[in-house]
Chains A and B, each alone.
Chain A
């Protein structure tokens, strides 16, 4: 037999994956920066434009509208989803049989694609034949998706419906890791349920709260599928979030240059958020959690 293979060569095994990743993720990322400096309608020739797109986009009130809506949905989603997911996570981590049964049902929304969720809710929320038609649920008979003052909250609700189960899973898994001895000790000390929750459960969930919140906040930059199918950004521009603004600018208004500017804004915001969140909450902790996968 030949001498044992050099371990330097083992590194070559990363190449196929690296090539796919660089070609179809990193190169397009760089491409967005370049395209943001050009004029292109998506079909014809590409011409150099310089910073013109940037000036236009930054002065466009639609951009401010998109950023504000995105910020709103980010904050509201976090405020709505975090307490519900956390409580449900604790709830489903309990050993009672009925909770296990409920947990199985809670996760059903995860089986639906975003398109399915959006289409289902379009019907459910219809003022004529949706749930508003159920005797006793008449208050649900509103033009949920047509009223510019309501629609953003509807979107926040539908997104919560879709994503709370996922975050519940994270919390459920984390609660099950909490050593039972902590609760036993608290029982002996006579600490009640609320006290135990505040002084044991919550502190023990700290890392999961950070992980889940980071995913929620960075994820809220990418709410596209559901909103696109549910409202298409409307009525008017009432739900034209940043990714939707980018899509519509590029593929409806055929202005790929301006759309690329929005894409770059999206990346920069996402990276800035991810880095500041991990830094603020302690990068070392994130790392150690990642390594414990």
Chain B
């Protein structure tokens, strides 16, 4: 199990020599064992969920829960898909796309304003955003609920989009501002002397240069909106407006005894993220940790 480590250690990578190359080449057996134990902790529940979702109702309660089903059945997936899953998926897509687009657009402008602007507004808004990082969403839900009902937005997708943007803005601005700060000042100055407006500089200089940062921060924001549970729980109620996490919760209430169906819903709701992970793992991982660490 640990044998391949010695081989890998010889690869001409900076860390390879640090890990085990050079003097000793003993594989770190303890670490290997620990690594596989943790793998079991992670994979067993996931395997159980997937395998159970492929059982029929009768096959579910008897036998070894980890043994593959006698015959794989997709009937539960069909049931979930017929229960409005497409609709919920679409709702999730809509709120995520709209929230992230508006957040990133507004935040890019704000980040530019914070970095390039002079005067009190630019300075205070930066501190305000910094403070915003410390506001817990949960503490604001009751007043948010009040505001949203008074605005007659209760039970609408807009009710989910607006606070999602509000809470995504601070971290997005701070990350983008850090990025824009690294753009050489001379580039801005020469464009300014050529008569470029703020919009011109944003569009033709900042946007192309900041594209990687925009992708990263966009993914970070999207993950939060996509998986968000609290706003839908508090600010919507109709079945039509369920987003995926809400739909899961509702399925669980409706199909209490039909555990395979509930687990099929869990699998289906995770598939989009899994596809994203397979297609763009690096981007996703970078997006996840955007804003923390280096």
Report which A residues bind B (CB closer than 8 A). Answer: 1-2, 4-5, 7-18, 20-32, 34-35, 40, 42, 84, 87-88, 91, 93-99, 102, 104-116, 119-124, 126, 128-131, 133-135, 161, 165-166, 169-170, 173-174, 176-178, 180, 182-184, 187-188, 190, 193, 208, 211-212, 215, 218, 221-222, 224-225, 228-229, 243, 246-247, 250-251, 256, 259-260, 263-264, 266-267, 270-271, 274, 289-293
Q: Are B49 and A123 in contact (CB under 8 A)?
A: yes
Cβ 8 A contact of B112, one of A10, A34, A102, A178: A10
Cβ 8 A contact of A29, one of B17, B125, B139, B288: B139
Cβ 8 A contact of A176, one of B15, B129, B227, B244: B15
A-B residue pairs in contact (CB < 8 Å), sample of 23:
A1-B195, A8-B118, A13-B113, A14-B114, A16-B106, A16-B109, A16-B110, A24-B167, A34-B143, A95-B11, A97-B4, A106-B42, A107-B285, A111-B273, A115-B229, A116-B245, A119-B249, A119-B266, A123-B263, A173-B293, A228-B229, A267-B139, A291-B178
Q: How far is the CB of A288 from chain B (nearest CB, A)?
A: 11
Contacts of B129 in A (CB 8 A): 17-18, 21
Cβ 8 A contact of B259, one of A5, A109, A129: A129
Interface of B is mostly: helix
Kindly state the separation between the CA atoms of A126 and B259 in the bound complex, as whole angstroms: 11
Kindly state the separation between the CA atoms of A30 and B132 in the bound complex, as whole angstroms: 13
Contacts of B8 in A (CB 8 A): 95-98
Among B11, B121, B289, chain A packs the most CB atoms within 10 A around the CB of B121
Q: Does chain A have a CB within 8 A of B72? A: no
Annotate B9-45 by CB proximity to A: 1 below 8 A, 0 otherwise. Answer: 1010111111100111000100110111011011111
Q: Are B139 and A18 in contact (CB under 8 A)?
A: no
Annotate B124-141 by CB proximity to A: 1 below 8 A, 0 otherwise. Answer: 010011001011111111
Contacts of A225 in B (CB 8 A): 229-230, 245
Cβ 8 A contact of B122, one of A14, A30, A115, A116: A14
Kindly state the separation between the CA atoms of A21 and B9 in the bound complex, as whole angstroms: 49
The 4 tightest CB contacts between A and B, nearest first, are A24-B166, A31-B143, A11-B117, A183-B18
Contacts of A270 in B (CB 8 A): 134, 136, 139
Q: Are A24 and B162 in contact (CB under 8 A)?
A: yes
- Residue ID in chain B nearest A88 by CB atoms: B38
Kindly state the separation between the CA atoms of A110 and B288 in the bound complex, as whole angstroms: 9
Contacts of A135 in B (CB 8 A): 64
Kindly state the separation between the CA atoms of A267 and B139 in the bound complex, as whole angstroms: 6
Contacts of A184 in B (CB 8 A): 17-18, 22
- Residue ID in chain A nearest B52 by CB atoms: A123
Contacts of B110 in A (CB 8 A): 13-18
Cβ 8 A contact of A124, one of B45, B64, B144: B45
Q: Are A95 and B15 in contact (CB under 8 A)?
A: yes
Q: Are A8 and B142 in contact (CB under 8 A)?
A: no
- Residue ID in chain B nearest A110 by CB atoms: B288
State which residues 130-167 of B face A: CB under 8 Å.
Answer: 132, 134-147, 162-163, 165-167
Among B28, B140, B293, chain A packs the most CB atoms within 10 A around the CB of B293
Given contacts A22-B128, A115-B245, A180-B17, 9 further A-B contacts (CB under 8 A): A11-B118, A21-B169, A25-B169, A95-B9, A95-B13, A108-B42, A108-B46, A112-B273, A115-B248
